[in-house]
Structure 1
Amino acid sequence: MNQPVRRGPIATFFVGLWDVMNFTRKLILNLLFFGLLFLFLIIFVVAVGSGGGVKPLTERTTLVIAPEGRLVEQYTADPATRALAKALGDKSGDEVQLRDLLRALEAARTDKKIERVLLRVDKLEPSGYASLRDVAAALAKFRQSGKQIVAFGENMSQGQYLLAAQANEVYIDPMGALILEGLGRYRQYYRQGLQEKLGVDVHVFKVGEYKSAVEPFVLDAASKEAKEADLYWMSDVWQRFLDDIAKARKVTAAQLAAGIDTMPEGIAAAGGDLAKFALQQKLVDGLKTQEQVEDLLAERGVADEDADSGFREVDLNGYLLQLDSRRPALGQRPQVAVVVAEGEITDGDQPAGRVGGESTSALLREARDDDDVKAVVLRVDSPGGGVFASEQIRREVAALKAAGKPVVVSMGDLAASGGYWISMNADRIYADPSTITGSIGIFGMIPTVPRTLEKIGVRTDGVGTTRFAGAFDITRPLDPAVGRVIQSIIDKGYSDFTGKVADARKRSVEEIDAVARGRVWSGAQAKERGLVDELGGLEAALTDAAKRAKLGEPDKYRVRYIEKEASPFSQFMSGLAGSHIGAAMLKDSDLARSLLARSLPEMEAHLRFVDEAVHDRNGAPVKALAYCFCGY
């Protein structure tokens, strides 16, 4: 039988002291925990109780559409992060969803309470011309309903102006600026800096003379093929831009082009006044300050002394809340599901705003397993990425079709390289004429730095059990035999890519190769070459998908976005920060700022894609990429 351990008086004292301290620690932590929990519950109950519902609109309201931040297909931060940022007044990561703009304009078109739209787009950051043309079309449709659009800006880029031009009247501040300059694509080239200055040798493996993503690392200037391809698709997009502006402003594209060609003389004639020059070019209808525009709207609409603007208004977010409050019960209607694939395509489970081989596949699989989902629209806005992750997603598209559910792809601003890979097996591919697509090609790139290390007196040496042991160590020179292995892998990847496209598009491999080889096309050019089926936006794709599933008229089915669900904590924090009391409490809260700081990586620009790919190969010595550094 074990005898109890006898402690001396000193040991007994310290053990007793520890027990007291431990009890006190637990007591304080429990009090803090339950105190914070009680505080949050009080705030939550008060916030919910003080919400009072959405205040109904009154007659003759002006809808103020003044989006701030990047125009995106899908938010890149979770609801809690966005709500916290808003409560703290942090606008650095502001985003506006394309679907929200389109939804608001479509509803306002027939809303008897909405009299007109005030459009301010000088804080919108366009991502490309395809999404802008979607919004422009919605604005034009609103205007055709007989309701007025007044646009105002202090300084507008040409992308922002594409939207403003759709207004009945366009005003710019007398001290503002608006210049149309054209499309350009200029990049920095690092060969001399990397190879001659730093001693970094960059080894490139690719298929396709037009696959120019790697050129900045191995050349001092753009290749002839890169310039030829870029100018070809950019000229098509630019001419369409001029035609869209000309149609909206009732001038000719030739007049707009002449104004750009003679810009130095025109601005000099206007005394260097950019606002006056825009007026002379008939880009705007008048020069007014913000206050003058607000006075004009108060005069035409209903004056409201309680509103900062002086007229009866509702902003975009307020109007979206109105629309949400009016939604009828959904019931068990059949669904057309929308899955968004926006951003770089990488392996694994990725957050919103990026495309993960596993996470995006899981969303498509959810659509396949849901009996209420009868058809799927895959909305693609991606420059591509890893080949394996792209193939994972393509397989899920094929599985949806095999399950009897139609899949229609709607290409946004960009659906190139891996973005095309995940699209090619759809029943139908839609693209805007200004979408950037194609870039069917594969590349690999390995930098080696032995010469760089030698500059500081460092060398690499050792032994291996085979000639290829350590062959992919970038501190050693690349063995030519290893280079042949990598090129074989890249060749095989290109063969897989073109073969799968040929099979999906019912064409020969030779026909696909002729329009592939890494070359980028506009949406209109891609349709001419059989890579795209129809020209149109998201709405056209949704209608097509519903028709293929035989769902009938739009009121017989509903559209549902399948996205990652926010965690319960995220939902709670979003509701807290979104309430008036919660926002006021969090505004000066160090806790809120620390929470926001921890979430900022999700809101910032994505890490350099190639750097990430180099460091994440999932154990494979070589990782093939289907990526397009395209844009303007």
Structure 2
Amino acid sequence: MAERGTNGFWAFLRVFGRGINVVRLVIINLIFFVFLGFFLLLMLGFWAGSHGERGVQNDSVLVLKPQGELVEQFSIEPLERALQGLSGNAPKQVQVRDLVSAIDAASSDSRITRILLQPQELHAGGFAALREVAAALDRFRAAGKPVIVWASSMDQGQYYLAAHADRVLLDPMGGVVLTGLANYRLFYKDLLDRLGVDVHLFRVGQFKSAAEPYVLDHASPESKEADAFWMGGLWDRYIDEVAKLRKIEPSALRAAIDGLPDAIAGTKGDLGQLAFNEHLVDGLATRDDLENMMRKEGVPAGGKGEGFRQVDLRRYLAGVSPGRVLEPGVAVVVAEGEIVGGKQPQGSIGGESTAQLIRAAREDRRTKALVLRVNSPGGEVYAAELIRREVALTKEAGIPVVVSMGNVAASGGYWISMNADRIFAEPNTITGSIGIFGMYFTVPGTLDKLGVKTDGVGTGPLAGAFNITRPLDPKVGTLIQAIIDKGYRDFVGGVAQARGKPYDAIDTIAQGRVWTGQQALDRGLVDQLGGLREAVADAAQRAKLGKNPSVRYVEAPLGTVEQFMVNLNDSSATVALRAYGVHLPEWVAQLPAMAPELKLLKNAQSGKPNVYAYCFCEPR
């Protein structure tokens, strides 16, 4: 009986083993055939690309239809971005530099006769980046080529670009909605009180309001005063620029915006007709009307599914030369996003990783000048200081450093900028906010609501002082405030030394107060108004590189697989496959985003107070 049971057991194991082997072979074969199929599709794409239209044809229209967020640097992971493209979906981010490069290249490209801009799917986070793109459109028009805008509808950010066109057309069912700027925030004090969470805020600066939502149930008068001043400056400039471009009196444009609810009644709810009546657009046209207009104006017929001959941004950029990146010239390091400690992925600022990029640029013999492109509301003070030190070391090495401020370079964003040889900002950049704060949470009240107590002993008065289950000792609060006070003095003192001004003069315009680029120029916090193009030219002049320097971006290298996927996504074969409707399933592109909560854990810190130079100062 025992022998029969033993034989039965071994027979079961043999069957089980054969089953595992079959499953293994099925999986291996499945993977093999998936890759084989993808390889065959890729070869089909190369064949389609070689037998179809190659390159950009003469008399083509460059169609710019940016989708998603306008950024200085991709923050979507490279693999995720590649998978999105391969699945037939455009990545929901577009880089400023890509738009500007394409427009500038097209201005001298005889094959491109005009630009068609369709901005309705662009989400702009700030006006400074829009101004960079708008300046490129102006240069394109100055080359004698028209810019045409057609949109289904436009908000005020999208319309800012549209105003720089020769002709603005709107779908008859669409509208242009300009509302003004606002900065409303949620306040959590009442909620935290109900939960029994104690928030201990330590700050310096009368206007340093970033952490107010945790200790107040409304915005402070100082916060409202400062916000009204810098947002008023941004909005005044918007009105003046758009009115000038559209040949409207600024007062009339402002009145039209403020009187929208009453004016819409006059057109019986027709926003498109109202936009035409108020000279915000030049005509109402459907997509078919647009295509017929292009054909009547001499643009040849396009390929399958295209009403006129055209080339999109991705395909056009694939044929634009990357420039003389191997020659000595200007290195550009992008610092975009919140400043946090450690190493962070591309599209965000890590104290160690961004400092490493600046150090790598400095140690590269090709780098004769450095431009730091800053688009950041700040973050952790120590991380910002690590980056600032690398800027200072780069200057000490005899390499000129120029800062170009984007949409926002405030608080910690200004901290990493202050030691540059020259600081450029757009008139509508948000900057300043020179001030710091610290926050610490304790939860004894929360535990008490749950019927939980904490007790024990320590070897000294500071032992266990940062245990969040215990109330904060007032003496420890005094210690933290002293550290915050020193941090503020270091910040103001560093700016005063860098700007060549007395401490008191900087302290007066610091206090955490936010300024526009124009207001900051008036107060000596920046040196010149201008964008990245002007900053690069200034850096090249300081390094005596001439008027047409080599420019390269210094970025963290991609892994082998990531680089392959990105290159594949941008290849002509993949573009051809997409044109034939062949692409990866859409769900594949979503794989990297299925566990977003993991991203929240990367920078989480608890059990100690953190010191921040941060500004929540981006209007919506």
TM-score between the two structures when normalised by the length of structure 1: 0.89
Match of 1:285? 282
1:23-45 Cα offsets, whole Å, 9 max, x none, are 95998487777777777766666
What pairs up with 1:471-486 in 2 under 5 angstroms? 471-486=465-480
Match of 1:251? 248
Distance in 1 (alpha carbons) for counterparts of 2:286 and 2:326: 51
- Where 1:174 maps in the other structure, the secondary structure is coil
- Where 1:155 maps in the other structure, the secondary structure is coil
Match of 1:440? 434
Distance in 2 (alpha carbons) for counterparts of 1:72 and 1:144: 26
Bigger mean CA offset, 517-526 vs 82-91: 82-91
CA RMSD of aligned residues (A): 2.9
Distance 1:136 1:37, change over 3 A: closer
1:499-540 Cα offsets, whole Å, 9 max, x none, are 111111111211111111111100111111111011000000
What pairs up with 1:140-155 in 2 under 5 angstroms? 140-155=138-153
Match of 1:631? 618
The answer (yes or no) to whether the contact 1:47–1:576 under 8 Å persists in 2 is no
Match of 1:501? 495
Match of 2:167? 169
The answer (yes or no) to whether the contact 2:88–2:583 under 8 Å persists in 1 is no
Distance in 1 (alpha carbons) for counterparts of 2:275 and 2:92: 29
Structure 1: gaps (5+ residues): 1-8
Distance in 2 (alpha carbons) for counterparts of 1:550 and 1:134: 25
Distance in 1 (alpha carbons) for counterparts of 2:525 and 2:395: 19
Match of 1:5? none
Match of 1:386? 380
The partner residue of 1:536 within 530, 536, 542 is 530
Match of 1:135? 133
- Where 1:389 maps in the other structure, the secondary structure is helix
Bigger mean CA offset, 346-355 vs 451-460: 451-460
The answer (yes or no) to whether the contact 1:62–1:301 under 8 Å persists in 2 is no
Match of 2:3? none
Structure 2: gaps (5+ residues): 1-5
Match of 1:3? none
The answer (yes or no) to whether the contact 2:325–2:550 under 8 Å persists in 1 is no
TM-superposed CA distance for 1:199, in Å, is: 2.3
| Sequence identity (%) | 49
The answer (yes or no) to whether the contact 1:298–1:312 under 8 Å persists in 2 is no
Distance 1:582 1:346, change over 3 A: farther
TM-score between the two structures when normalised by the length of structure 2: 0.91
The partner residue of 2:100 within 99, 102, 125 is 102
Does residue 121 of the first structure (1) align with residue 110 of the second (2)? no
TM-superposed CA distance for 1:586, in Å, is: 5.3
Match of 2:236? 239
Distance in 1 (alpha carbons) for counterparts of 2:414 and 2:43: 48
Distance in 2 (alpha carbons) for counterparts of 1:563 and 1:553: 24
Distance in 1 (alpha carbons) for counterparts of 2:535 and 2:302: 44
TM-superposed CA distance for 1:312, in Å, is: 1.0
1:157-188 Cα offsets, whole Å, 9 max, x none, are 01100001111111111111212211111112
Q: For 1:194, give the aligned amino acid.
A: L
Distance 1:376 1:141, change over 3 A: same
Bigger mean CA offset, 54-63 vs 529-538: 54-63
The partner residue of 1:621 within 605, 608, 617 is 608
Q: For 1:571, give the aligned amino acid.
A: Q
TM-superposed CA distance for 1:588, in Å, is: 2.7
What pairs up with 1:146-225 in 2 under 5 angstroms? 146-195=144-193, 197-225=194-222
- Where 2:153 maps in the other structure, the secondary structure is strand
Match of 2:556? 564
Distance in 2 (alpha carbons) for counterparts of 1:32 and 1:89: 23
- Where 2:314 maps in the other structure, the secondary structure is helix
1:398-451 Cα offsets, whole Å, 9 max, x none, are 111111110000000000111001100101000001000011111011122222
1:292-347 Cα offsets, whole Å, 9 max, x none, are 112111221324153434111111112112223xx67x385212000000001111
The answer (yes or no) to whether the contact 1:62–1:116 under 8 Å persists in 2 is yes
1:234-286 Cα offsets, whole Å, 9 max, x none, are 11111111111011101121110111232232111222221111112111111
- Where 1:483 maps in the other structure, the secondary structure is helix
Match of 2:512? 518
Distance 1:246 1:457, change over 3 A: same
Distance in 2 (alpha carbons) for counterparts of 1:487 and 1:454: 27
Match of 1:6? none
TM-superposed CA distance for 1:144, in Å, is: 2.5
Distance 1:140 1:376, change over 3 A: same
Bigger mean CA offset, 137-146 vs 252-261: 137-146
Distance 1:146 1:16, change over 3 A: closer
Distance in 1 (alpha carbons) for counterparts of 2:293 and 2:389: 56
Distance in 2 (alpha carbons) for counterparts of 1:586 and 1:153: 28
Number of aligned residue pairs: give it: 607
Distance in 2 (alpha carbons) for counterparts of 1:62 and 1:170: 16
Distance 1:606 1:530, change over 3 A: farther
Bigger mean CA offset, 335-344 vs 280-289: 280-289
- Where 1:178 maps in the other structure, the secondary structure is coil
Distance 1:54 1:426, change over 3 A: farther
Match of 2:86? 87
The answer (yes or no) to whether the contact 1:44–1:576 under 8 Å persists in 2 is no
Distance 1:509 1:601, change over 3 A: farther
The answer (yes or no) to whether the contact 2:152–2:174 under 8 Å persists in 1 is yes
Distance 1:287 1:160, change over 3 A: same
TM-superposed CA distance for 1:473, in Å, is: 2.0
Distance in 1 (alpha carbons) for counterparts of 2:598 and 2:500: 38
